[in-house]
């Protein structure tokens, strides 16, 4: 045997011994061979040997295509496994340093991706809404993460958008939701040839500060060699109670004056991922106008008068400004909502905002009037301290007047102890 061939053989089997140690199988066993191919598929190696001994580069190919090759090789090479092993390991030996950097990462295309959820009110009326601003990545190792900007909820009506944001999702505390999942490339080994694969995908949803493990039946489609669609095959039922959102359903019902909102949402999605470094392609969608990012409040310079009124009316219903009992001292938990109010006031420069304080009926009316005035002033002072012009803020206390509920239960009394925001035109 020529010295060069001996060197290749020794190097090859030395490399095999290293891989074999990881696989935990004897070199000569058929099980060891199959485990090796599984290992290669899992690591998405980028080089392989054809039957005629030529090398073909897989650099830039998707992990699905790489896994598919090794799966096919596992079947076709049963009669000559060690020749393929030697060739494959020689490739690892020679090109191993290039392999790691050649693995493909994927980035979600927000202009082509969509998430919708359906809710039911009055037991029969179905409403379909969307989350428009979505970002995400899928690494070559199969780690998927998708983030949803809940401030981009789109119901088609600004007032309903604001209710969903502030009353249901409470975006002043929880502005995003996130999905994480582990995708095994081997599970999609046939995707490169079949172009379409169905599977069940476990995932974790973080919503409203709560993590919940769920699963979805998904259809994975190769749109092109550099684009993959991951879409729900059937809607996913998300129970609001699992995420501590049941009290917020009641807030929505009171604000919209509706009844019987079903506390389960049906969620569907179609996420399109593009290989990093690939040229973007135009994706045809059924409703192109309803897909893709939207401008959220944070990116707007100013609001219209109608938008201002909508936001102050809904912020008044959050119940997220807190005081110590029988005190006008603001609790630290009030900070997120006060920051939200400050932002809205700053984008409504032609309006003057009245901070109104209210109490329940416990105690004397005089004491309640004084407490409500002090609480309203504390909120106004906090906003001014954060930079709101003093001439744009006023404070008034109404005591136990104008209750929103009868003062007959602790729950109703809590509803009456509140801070509200109203507006008028700012005098020149």
pLDDT band at 90 (very low <50, low <70, confident <90, very high): very low
Give pLDDT, residue 72.
Answer: 60
pTM: 0.77
Tens of pLDDT along 262-277? 999 999 999 999 999 8
285's tokens:
């969608």
| Average pLDDT along the chain | 81
Q: Write the CA distances from 104 to 82, 141, 151, 182, integer angstroms.
A: 28, 9, 31, 16
pLDDT above 90 (res 387): yes
pLDDT band at 357 (very low <50, low <70, confident <90, very high): very high
- Max Cα distance, the chain (Å): 106
Give the phi and the psi of residue 7 in degrees, each rounded to 5: -65, -45
* Torsion, Cα of 197, 199, 202, 205 (10° steps): 60
Q: Which of 94-103, 185-194, 354-363 has the lowest mean pLDDT?
A: 94-103
Contact 344/303 with Cβ under 8 angstroms? yes
- What residues have CB less than 8 Å from 333, skipping those under 6 apart? 320, 322
Give pLDDT, residue 403.
Answer: 95
Sorted by where each starts, the structural domains of the chain and their CATH numbers stand as: 3-102 (no CATH), 106-295 (2.40.128.110), 300-425 (3.30.1330.60)
What is the DSSP secondary-structure string of 261-317? --SEEEEEEEEEEEETTPPP-PPP-TTGGGSS----GGG-S---HHHHHHHHHHHTT
3-state SS, residue 219? strand
Q: How far apart are CA 355 and CA 135, in angstroms?
A: 37
Tens of pLDDT along 192-202? 889 999 999 99
Mean per-residue pLDDT, 62-69: 55
What is the DSSP secondary-structure string of 28-89? T-HHHHHHHHHHHHHHT--EEE-TTS-EEE-TT--HHHHHHHHHHHHHHTTTSHHHHHHHHH
Mean per-residue pLDDT, 76-81: 51
Give pLDDT, residue 388.
Answer: 96
- Residue entry with tokens 């930079």: 387
Mean per-residue pLDDT, 303-308: 96
Q: How far apart are CA 146 and CA 304, in angstroms?
A: 32
pLDDT above 50 (res 317): yes
Contact 136/152 with Cβ under 8 angstroms? no
pLDDT above 90 (res 45): no
Contact 404/251 with Cβ under 8 angstroms? no
pLDDT above 60 (res 63): no
Contact 267/240 with Cβ under 8 angstroms? no
pLDDT above 90 (res 282): no
> Would you tell me how many other CB atoms lie within 10 Å of the CB of residue 277?
10
pLDDT above 80 (res 389): yes
**Residue that wins the pLDDT comparison between 5 and 300:** 300
- Residue entry with tokens 């009353």: 167
pLDDT band at 186 (very low <50, low <70, confident <90, very high): confident
Tens of pLDDT along 166-180? 999 999 999 999 999
Contact 113/134 with Cβ under 8 angstroms? yes
Give pLDDT, residue 67.
Answer: 54
Closest by Cα among 131, 129, 126, 128 to 114: 131
pLDDT above 80 (res 57): no
């Amino acid at each position: 045997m020529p010295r060069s061939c001996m060197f290749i053989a020794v190097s090859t089997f030395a490399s095999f011994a290293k891989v074999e140690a990881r696989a935990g199988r004897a070199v000569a066993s058929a099980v060891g061979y199959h485990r090796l191919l599984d290992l290669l598929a899992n690591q998405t190696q980028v080089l392989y040997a054809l039957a005629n001994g030529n090398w073909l580069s897989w650099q830039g190919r998707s992990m699905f295509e790489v896994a598919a090759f090794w799966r096919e090789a596992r079947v076709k090479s049963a009669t000559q496994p060690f020749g393929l092993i030697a060739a494959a390991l020689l490739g690892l030996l020679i090109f191993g340093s290039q392999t790691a950097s050649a693995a493909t990462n994927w980035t979600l295309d927000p202009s082509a991706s969509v998430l919708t959820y359906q809710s039911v009110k009055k037991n029969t009326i179905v409403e379909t809404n969307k989350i428009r601003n979505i970002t995400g990545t899928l690494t070559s190792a199969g780690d998927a993460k998708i983030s949803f900007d809940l401030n981009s909820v789109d119901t088609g009506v600004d007032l309903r958008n604001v209710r969903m944001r502030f009353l249901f999702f409470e975006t002043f505390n929880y502005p995003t939701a996130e999905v994480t999942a582990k995708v095994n490339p081997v599970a999609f080994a046939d995707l490169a040839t079949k172009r379409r694969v169905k599977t069940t995908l476990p995932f974790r949803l973080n919503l409203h500060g709560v993590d919940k493990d769920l699963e979805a039946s998904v259809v994975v489609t190769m749109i092109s060699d550099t684009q993959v669609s991951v879409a729900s095959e059937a809607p996913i039922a998300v129970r609001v109670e699992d995420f501590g959102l049941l009290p917020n359903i009641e807030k929505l019902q009171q604000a919209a004056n509706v009844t019987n909102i079903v506390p389960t949402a049906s969620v569907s999605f179609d996420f399109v991922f593009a290989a990093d470094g690939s040229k973007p392609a135009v994706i045809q969608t059924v409703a192109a106008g309803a897909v893709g990012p939207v401008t959220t409040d944070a990116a707007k310079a100013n609001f219209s008068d109608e938008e201002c009124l909508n936001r102050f009316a809904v912020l008044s219903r959050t119940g997220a400004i807190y005081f110590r009992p029988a005190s006008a001292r603001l609790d630290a938990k009030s900070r997120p909502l006060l920051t939200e109010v400050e932002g809205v006031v700053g984008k409504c420069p032609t309006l003057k905002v009245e901070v109104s304080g209210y109490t329940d009926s416990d105690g004397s009316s005089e004491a309640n009037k004084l407490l409500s005035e002090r609480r309203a002033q504390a909120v106004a002072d906090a906003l001014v301290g954060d930079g709101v012009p003093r001439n744009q803020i006023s404070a008034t206390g109404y005591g136990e007047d104008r209750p929103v509920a009868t003062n007959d239960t602790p729950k109703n009394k809590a509803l009456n102890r509140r801070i509200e925001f109203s507006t008028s035109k700012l005098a020149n």
